Amino acid sequence: MKTIILTSKDDQITTTEFDEFLPKPLSASRVLYVTTGLKGSSDLVYADQQKQIMQRLNFSYTEYDISNKSKEDLKKALSNIDVVYVVGGSTFYLLKAVRESGFDEVIKELLPKGLVYIGLSAGAYIACPSIIMKTWSSRNSNQFGITDFTAMNLVPFLLKAHYEPEMKKLLEEKSKNLDLDIRVLNNEQALIIRDEKIQLIGGGDEIIIYNGNTLLHTSHTHKL
């Protein structure tokens, strides 16, 4: 079974509620903590906060940067790993490193064998078919030469992390030019994808936007 977890905010990785969706609890898992996106971020406070959170967690992890790595390097680093956790930062810088290293190919090879992928913010965006969503914000001035926004395509939808209600109109407008659903995550939600099943957990309503319309806006009950 392929298991992918996508989140908006780092606080969610600390909850034991994820354990029911994993082959083994996070506290018993070997985690490869991919920090590459932080290298491309100008927000040094955010980068420091991420690392402080990981240092407080009660599980075994190894910090890792996929930049300048080969597929052979990645396979070796992931050979005894249960969970690869790709943290946020610059989505463009992270995608650049994914392409240059072959990270996407290695992950696609290992997911069916039981490796769990957890993506936070930028790590969640690169799991989608495209990171086109990141071009909709003026905050993303440095695209690190990325002009083709094709991403890893681990999931069959686009994602908007850190969702706020005032973003809804923009997303509806942008979705008119897309062939994929946009699923949104506020900072209390996560998406669990296991094979073909997609489940939203956390606080707030489930919102899916397609072709200018909000198709689904219903409360759900599973809380983090």
Reported as a pLDDT band with limits 50, 70 and 90, residue 196 is confident
CB contact set of 2 (below 8 Å; sequence gap of 6+): 111, 112, 193, 194, 195
Give the predicted TM-score (pTM) of the model. Answer: 0.91
Rg (Cα) of the chain, in Å, rounded? 16
The CATH fold assigned to 3-157+185-202 is Rossmann fold (3.40.50)
Token pair, residue 64, equals 């890792």
Condensed to tens digits (0 to 9), the pLDDT of residues 44-100 reads 666 677 677 777 776 788 999 999 999 999 999 999 999 999 998 999 999 999 999
Q: What Å distances lie between residue 134 and 58, 69, 139, 172, 209, CA to CA?
A: 32, 25, 9, 15, 16
Query: What is the domain partition of the chain in residue ranges?
Result: 3-157+185-202
Token pair, residue 129, equals 């078919």
Distance CA 47, CA 164 (A): 22
Q: Which helix (H) or strand (E) holds 183?
A: strand 182-184
